[in-house]
Structure 1
Amino acid sequence: MTRSAREVLDTVRQELLPSEGDNRLVPLIEQGRAPRSVFAALAAEEYRIVTSDWRSFLALAGRADERNAREFFAGLAQGEGIALGKLTALAEAVDLDEAALRAHRPRAGCQAYPAYVAWLALNVSPADAVVAMVSNFAAWGSYCATIAQAMRTQYGFDDEACGFFDLFGTPLPDDQAVAAVQAGIDSGTLTEDVSDYGRLFQSYELMFWNTIADEA
């Protein structure tokens, strides 16, 4: 019997739930044990990630023939535009202007994540890309919510500086994603490789956090 889109998403999410200790940076921030310089590193790396993901999501929206998938990726792209403005506030709070953000020398372990998102945008079906990304959103959102809280309680940042992590720490409704995946199931464009795409997506995200943790 063919699984429904909801069953596919729930299964892949469950398979990819990170284990305690997989992310070595967020617990340090949560406990106030990471140096304040970590936030400058996050701002500088995310500056490149957000601008790259924005283009990747637009590319996926352009490739998507199905309306729900197209609108899903267009919405993600719009969110990256909002995120970029909020990231500027974080950068200013840690004394980074735009020239400093542009001059930053990126870490390969951090930029592997957006490189993989760009690969997905070029190489997999939009339905597969939806599953890979949505399966990671819960973990990513949880990390961001934890960081936003710790920034206030452990490091004394104001609400404006926390806006980037507040944005991504707010859960998004997944009705459109479910509809896009269901369309992929119905059309036969959702493939058996989708779990591998999600696993790699999650692995590259953890590489981002842990690369910074190793330098903290």
Structure 2
Amino acid sequence: MPRKAAELLESITGKLAPDPHANRLLPLIGRGAARRSTLAALCLEQRHVIEADRRAFLHLAQRSAWGSARPGEAGSGGASAVSEFFTVLAEGEAVAGHRLGAFGAACGVDEEQAAAYQPLADCQSYPAYVAWLALNGEPADVVLALNTNFAAWGDYCATIADALRRHYGYDDAACAFFDLFAEPGPELRQKSLAAVEEGLDSGRTDEHEALRYGRLLQAYEARFWHALWELDQRTG
């Protein structure tokens, strides 16, 4: 794959790297100090995030098929590297949804509790913005923005998976949701590079827009974790 795609991904990821101290909940989980009720809330919030993101990615895949990549355009459809990238993401969300059940069970979440749970607005601001991007963003730029966010999310998941085993006694099944994102497969990296290269070759990539999208995604990601941290502090 031409070097320019990898360089652009690395450049934007570096520019948007989050403050390592911004996520106050992560160190609590990392040392086993977060309440189990907070872990349950994390699971319940993710139930909403996963399904929303899956649908958003499917819409982006449809929009970015050949001939239909720009907002408001109607095209003939077909395969494209950008479309394949979003298809892989949607498939990954479906897998994540199946794995989340074991984490919820370990947290003591049952269907009655899940049905009664009221999501936190700050936790759901991230998928709300992903849905906005699915409707309004240039898909090639959304590829770059999401990759930037995935780097931080993967690190968070790796820390959580380790802490759940080490401090909370969760088994591999209960940690599988976080393991999925902590070690993304090489296919996603290849699809990312191909999608970025396609965006560059077609002239649809705008680094300024990608940075704007990515900055907002990172801000909404930070809100997600801060809302759960505040919940942990309030819980008696």
Partner amino acid, structure 1, of 2:62: G
The structure with more radius of gyration:
2
1:57 and 1:172 mapped to 2: Cα distance? 18
Partner residue of 2:217? 201
2:115 and 2:136 mapped to 1: Cα distance? 29
TM-score using structure 2 length:
0.87
- Of the three residues 77, 80, 96, the one matched with 2:93 is 80
1:158 and 1:10 mapped to 2: Cα distance? 34
Partner residue of 1:163? 176
> Contact 1:17/1:139 (CA < 8 Å) preserved in 2?
yes
Q: Identical aligned pairs, as a percentage?
A: 49
Gaps of at least 5 residues in structure 2 are 67-79
Gaps of at least 5 residues in structure 1 are none
Question: Which 10-residue stretch deviates more, 95-104 or 201-210?
Answer: 95-104
1:107 counterpart = 2:120: yes
2:148 and 2:202 mapped to 1: Cα distance? 21
Q: Which runs of at least 4 in structure 1 moved beyond 4 Å after TM superposition?
A: none
1:186 counterpart = 2:201: yes
1:127 counterpart = 2:140: yes
Partner amino acid, structure 2, of 1:54: R
2:115 and 2:204 mapped to 1: Cα distance? 39
Question: Which 10-residue stretch deviates more, 67-76 or 171-180?
Answer: 171-180
> Contact 1:31/1:154 (CA < 8 Å) preserved in 2?
yes
Question: Which 10-residue stretch deviates more, 55-64 or 95-104?
Answer: 95-104
> Contact 1:138/1:171 (CA < 8 Å) preserved in 2?
no
1:146 counterpart = 2:159: yes
Q: How does 1:86-97 map onto structure 2 within 5 Å?
A: 86-97=99-110
Shift of 1:4: 2.1
> Contact 1:109/1:207 (CA < 8 Å) preserved in 2?
yes
RMSD of aligned alpha carbons? 1.3
